[in-house]
Amino acid sequence: MTRTRTLLMHRMAGSIQNQNLGAPVVIVQGFLGTTAAWIWGNFDHYLNFDSKFPRRTIFVSVGPVSSLHDRACELYYALMGGTVDYGLEHSEAHKHARYGRHISEGQYPEWSPTRPLHFIAHSIGGPTVIKLLHLIKQGHFGPSAHAQMILSINAISAPFRGTQLVYLLGERADAAPAVRPLSFGSILGKWVHILSYMAPLLPQALDFHGDCRSLTYRDISFFSLLKQLWTSDWAESRDAAPFDVSCQAVDERESDGEGVIDPNIFYQSHVAVMTRRRSESVKFHIPALSHIASPLMYISSRLVGKFDFSTLRPSPSFLAQRGDSDCAARPELDMGEEYWANDGVVPVFSQWHPLPCRLTRCRHLVDGQLDEDRTTPSPGIWHVNREEDAHHMSLVPLWTGTDRQKQWWRRLGQWLASVEESR
């Protein structure tokens, strides 16, 4: 009897401790993000710095160049386990197999409304989680999937409303998803096909999740590979990451109701800015000279900061909704500088949240605002945090161990704890 009572007491104590544990955190990486934990560094120490019971961190592997739809499906099954199902309608529309790889054991199979998860998402990881929520609400994963499985969405430098950089790198501004020959995007697409062809021989870090497309040397001939190198059925399609961060794709998703906030989910975005206004007379932006130590970011930031949106066809909705006819020839006259201020990859307005401010609920916080204002969460509203003098990789994923990074992760851990206390 005494032994039985002791076992029961231990189980009760363990149950109480589990209730005190914070909800696990899922890390969703961005474009070409396959490095997982080794590049993210010692962030979890600071994320859990103020927690008595450290929360678990889960890195998931999704297609680094795949479309938001495919990435969201892979994210769901990476956590729950099972065979990745991209959906019959989607797979037929984009001419790839409906089913992908089988995951025998998910990383969090107990995922449910009573065991929800926090999501920390960098770059296109942000819209990937928004797509995941949208598919859950549409019933894509069946009746057992529910929106309340997502406790919070925490986005860093996310291109919710696209980025002009995709056009600068090769996407046709007048005919997306076509790609300009010999552009960076075209060359990258060819490398993706070559690496996918050799996938069975390559390490996990070079896994492009092309299972449903049958691109390896086991599936296609060398002649078929050459055809893909000439014109890619994947890279130059509407079912790939480059098109999904185009203004045209964003307008299509928003018109379908994607990005509408859920009143029970906590939302937070972190907006990195590395530029300043070129002059008082124009709204174009240039990077601060201090960022020249990151030459690629510095160059791309200059290009994004002076992009001509009038070259885009079809015209983005944010241009069509702008002012009078006098501004039609030069839309920059009627646009805020947030369309050119950027982090080297994503403009500020796109990092805020899905949908324009007038069509969602948002609260924009600024540096210097009281700590309690910046760390007190409310569900059903985007808490937008501006991070000055930061580029696309200043906060994550590249761990540099700066005081800024450490304090940022510590504040994020406090915010997640506050979310759990507010439920």
Terminus-to-terminus CA distance in the chain, angstroms?
39
**Residue listed under structure tokens 């993210």:** 40
Q: Is residue 216 part of a domain?
A: no
Q: Is residue 191 part of a domain?
A: no
pLDDT digits (tens, 9 = 90+) for 168-188: 999 999 999 999 999 999 999
Q: Is residue 272 part of a domain?
A: yes
Q: Is residue 322 part of a domain?
A: yes
CB 364 within 8 A of CB 352: yes
Number of domains in the chain: 1
pLDDT digits (tens, 9 = 90+) for 304-325: 999 999 999 999 998 876 544 3
Residue (of 259, 270, 47, 58) closest to 155 by Cα position = 270
Q: Is residue 200 part of a domain?
A: no
Residue (of 303, 67, 314, 308) closest to 175 by Cα position = 314
Q: Is residue 83 part of a domain?
A: yes
Report pLDDT for 143.
93
- Amino acid letter for position 116: P
Average pLDDT over residues 194-215: 88
Q: Quote the tokens at residue 175.
A: 């005919």
Q: Is residue 145 part of a domain?
A: yes
> Which range has the top average pLDDT, 16-25, 34-43, 263-272?
263-272
Structure letter (DSSP) for residue 200? G
Check whether 346 has a pLDDT greater than 70.
Answer: yes
Any idea what the CATH number is for the domain that residue 311 is in? 3.40.50.1820
Q: How far apart are CA 36 and CA 133, in angstroms?
A: 23
Domain around 390: 22-178+236-422
CA distances from 99 to 18, 141, 267 (A): 35, 13, 31
CB atoms within 10 A of CB 378: 12
| Cβ neighbours of residue 102 closer than 8 Å, sequence gap 6 or more | 82, 83, 84
Q: How far apart are CA 192 and CA 195, in angstroms?
A: 5
Q: Is residue 206 part of a domain?
A: no
**Peptide bond before 113: cis, by omega within 30 degrees of 0?**
no
Q: How far apart are CA 174 and CA 182, in angstroms?
A: 17
Q: How far apart are CA 242 and CA 62, in angstroms?
A: 15
Q: Are strands 25-28 and 57-59 parallel, antiparallel or unpaired?
A: parallel
pTM: 0.91
